[in-house]
Structure 1
């Protein structure tokens, strides 16, 4: 088992990967630097290996697929995940590793948004999207993670081996954040400096398509992790609509003794039936989620026992 493993997922980062590997070898000389090449068409893998990294390959395209492979194959006391584009300085690595190794933090988030991100990043829609995602998740899940989509994080062994990677692409960071919150894991925020990509280095993110995937991920995970809030909210909306349609019919009946709008009354009934079904669906699923949390704690104890065996 490695003491510290630095994980660098890469796709066509030949302009920056050697510098990133060199910086991390200087900052954490005891760490093992892993570069996972994701079908690069340039010489990213060769440059990383020449700089001293352990180079491996993931042939399924997408950052989520690379992270899944890394988490499966590598055993370490502390994992540091970093992008290969040289936008995150290595000098914060020691502080983040110490939080994992000494304070038993499960996930350390490198917070760009509280420092230089909005000045350095030249893509205004990315700035807006980061703020939107951060605000949405912190409100929906009642947490205070300062940067949801940062690629600079540190993890414990327990987090890595208990995290089910479902996303295939850049929405993986959102999934990590919500998983840590929902499983009551210890989270710390570390404010880091952010610098924009160097000239000639191109971002792989598509503002609109990747942003839409992130929003879909938030929607899916809120439904899965907070079913009572999701289906209960739907039930409340449908009840308000049904009541809004029913009140005029009720008022006419009180004044005239007649029900002139039977089609509307029937629609009200169907909407309210759907609301009741939605409410009880949320109730049942919330019970299932609670049972899953209990089972997760048992699985976490098994992983912890395995971790202690590794350390012996």
Structure 2
């Protein structure tokens, strides 16, 4: 087991990977640096290996697939995840690591948005998207993570070994943030100095398609982790819709004793039934969710017991 593991997912980062590995090696000489190559065609793996990194491979395309592989294969007291594009500063990694090792923080978020991100990033829709995602998650899940989609984070052992990776692509950061909020993990933010990609290095993130995937992920996770809120909103919407069309029918009936829009009344009845069904679906799923939370706490306990056993064997 490593004390500190630096995890770098890479896809065609030959222009920057040597500097990233060298910078983090300088700041954390005691750390083991893992570069996980995701089907690069520009020699990223060889450059990383020559720079002193341990190079491994994930052949399923997508950042989420790479992170699933990294988290499963690497055991460490503290994990640092950073992109291989040289946009994140290595000189702030010690502060992030110390929070995990000394303060038992489960996830340290490298917060770009509170510093230079909006000045450095030349893609305005990325800026808008980051603000939208941050606002949505902090509103829906009632938290205050400063940067939801940052690729620079530090994790504890218990976070990594209990995080179920479901996303395949760049929406993985959103999933991490919501998992930490929902499972009451200890989260802290560290403001970092962000810089845009150097000349010749291209982002793999598509503003529109990946942005849409992130929003879909937020909706999916809100349905999973807050079922009463999700289905309760649908129930309320359907109830209001039924009332809007039913009230004029009632008024007409009170005045004339007639129901001229009989089909509309029938539709209102079915919409009301759908509203009631949605409400009870949310109630049932909330009960299932609460049971899953109890099971997670027991899994967390078992994970930490195994971790202590591994540490004790290592000490012997």
Could you state the TM-score of these two structures normalised by the residue count of structure 1? 1.00
What CA distance in whole angstroms lies between the structure 2 residues aligned with 1:91 and 1:272? Answer: 59
What SS does the corresponding residue of 1:146 show, helix, strand or coil?
A: coil
Could you list the runs of 4 or more consecutive aligned residues of structure 1 that deviate by over 2 angstroms after TM superposition? none
Cα shift readout 1:42-99 (whole Å, capped 9, x = no counterpart): 1100000100000000000000000000000000000000000000000111000011
The aligned runs of 1:33-182 (5 Å cut-off) are 33-182=33-182
* Equivalent position of 2:234 in the other structure: 234
**Aligned partners of 1:262, 1:282: CA distance in 2, in Å?**
31
Deviation per residue, 1:1-55 (Å, 9 max, x gap): 1000000000000000000000000000100000000000011000001000000
SS where residue 33 of structure 1 aligns? Answer: strand
State how far apart, in whole Å, the 2-side matches of 1:37 and 1:230 are: 38
The equivalent residue for 1:295 is 295
Q: Which runs of 5+ in 1 are unaligned?
A: none
In the TM superposition, residue 158 of structure 1 has moved relative to its aligned partner by 0.3
Matched, 1:206 2:206: yes
- In structure 2, C-alpha distance between the alignment counterparts of 1:92 and 1:109, rounded to whole Å: 12
Give the structure 1 partner of residue 275 of structure 2.
275
Offset at residue 310 of structure 1 (A): 1.4
What is the CA distance between 1:257 and its match in structure 2?
A: 1.2
The whole-number CA distance in structure 2 between the counterparts of 1:30 and 1:84 is 19
Please list the CA deviations of residues 136-191 of structure 1 after superposition, one character each: whole Å capped at 9, or x if unmatched.
Answer: 00000000000000000000000000000000000000000000000010100000
TM-fit CA distance, 1:259: 1.1
Per the alignment, in what secondary structure is the counterpart of residue 165 of structure 2?
coil
Structure 2 unaligned segments of length 5 or more: list them. none
In structure 1, C-alpha distance between the alignment counterparts of 2:86 and 2:134, rounded to whole Å: 23
Number of matched residues?
312
Residues 196-249 of structure 1: CA deviation (Å, up to 9, x unaligned): 000011111110000000000001000011100000100000000111111100
Shift in Å at residue 128 of structure 1?
A: 0.3
Q: Distance in 1 between matches of 2:170 and 2:240?
A: 37
Q: CA-to-partner distance for each residue in 1:287-310, whole Å, 9 max, x for gaps?
A: 000000000000000000011111
Alpha-carbon distance between aligned partners in 1 of 2:292 and 2:228, rounded to the nearest angstrom: 15
* Alignment partners' CA distance in 1, 2:161 and 2:273: 43
Per-residue deviation, 1:127: 0.3
1:78-121: per-residue Cα shift (whole Å, max 9, x none)? 00000000000001110000110111110000000000000000
Root-mean-square deviation (CA, aligned residues, Å) is 0.4
